[in-house]
C-alpha cells in the first residue's frame, strides 16, 4: 500500500476518493465492503489533502539562474 501510495497521482487519488463514496452509497452494500470502502476513501482523502497542503511553489525564468 505504501509503495503504491508514493506513485499515485493526484487524479488517481481524487478519483479513488470519489469511487469510494460511490461504492459506499450503493444499495445492498455489505457492512464489510462499506467499512473497507470507507477506510480506502479516508486514505485517498488524506493523500489528496496532504498534496493540497504541500505549498512549496517555485516560479523561475529560464536562462536567468543558470547564466
Partner 1 sequence: MAIKPVRVSQLNSYIKRVLQSDPLLGNVSVVGEISNLKYHGSGHIYFTLKDETSKISCFLPADAIKNIRYELSDGMEIIAVGYIYLYERGGSYSLNVRDITIEGFGNLSAAFDKLKEKLAKEGLFDEKYKKPIPLFPRKVAVITSETGAAVRDIVKIIKNRNNIVDVLIYPCLVQGPGAAAEISDAINSVNQLFPEVDTIIVGRGGGSMEELWAFNEEIVARSIFVSKIPVISAVGHETDFTISDFVADKRAETPTAAAQIAVPDIKALKEYIENEKDDLIHTIKRLVKYMELKVAGHSIEILTTNLNQRLSYYAMKTDNLDKELNNALVYRFGEWTACIEKYKIEIDSMNPANIMKRGYAAILDDQRILSGSVNRFGAGNSLTAVMNDGEIDCKVASIRRIEYGKSKKENEL
Question: Among residues 1, 4, 6, 55, which is the contact residue for partner 1, using CB under 8 A?
Answer: 55
Residue 54 near partner 1 by CB under 8 A: yes
Q: Who contacts 41 (Cβ-Cβ below 8 Å, separation ≥6)?
A: 16, 17, 20, 21, 24
Question: Among residues 6, 20, 27, 28, which is the contact residue for partner 1, using CB under 8 A?
Answer: 20
Q: Which is nearer to partner 1, 3 or 49 (by Cβ)?
A: 49
**Alpha-carbon distance 54 to 38, whole Å?**
24
Which residues are at the interface with partner 1 (CB under 8 A)? 9-11, 14, 17-18, 20-21, 24-25, 29, 31, 34-35, 38, 41-42, 45, 48-49, 51-52, 54-63
Amino acid at each position: 500500500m505504501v509503495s503504491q501510495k508514493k506513485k499515485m497521482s493526484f487524479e488517481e487519488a481524487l478519483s479513488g476518493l470519489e469511487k469510494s463514496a460511490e461504492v459506499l452509497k450503493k444499495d445492498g452494500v455489505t457492512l464489510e465492503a462499506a467499512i473497507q470502502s470507507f477506510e480506502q476513501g479516508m486514505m485517498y482523502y488524506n493523500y489528496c489533502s496532504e498534496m493540497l497542503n504541500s505549498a512549496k511553489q517555485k516560479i523561475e525564468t529560464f536562462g536567468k539562474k543558470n547564466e
